[in-house]
Amino acid sequence: MIDAPAARVTLHPHSRRVRVVIDGTLLADTTRALELRERGYPPRQYLPRDDVRMDLMIPSETVTHCPFKGDASYFSFGEREDVAWSYQRPMEGIEAIERRVVFYGDY
> Containing domain of residue 83, as a range?
2-103
> How many domains does the chain divide into?
1
Q: Identify the DSSP state of 49.
A: G
* Tens digit of each residue's pLDDT (9 = 90 or more) over 24-80: 999 999 999 999 999 888 999 999 999 999 999 999 999 999 998 999 999 999 999
Tell me, what CATH number does 53's domain have?
A: 2.170.150.40
* Range in 33-42, 82-91, 94-103 the model is least confident about: 33-42
CB 43 within 8 A of CB 14: no
Contacts of 9-12 spanning 24+ positions with Cβ under 8 A: 9/36, 9/37, 9/38, 9/68, 9/69, 9/93, 9/94, 10/36, 10/37, 11/35, 11/36, 11/37, 11/46, 11/94, 11/96, 11/97, 12/36, 12/37
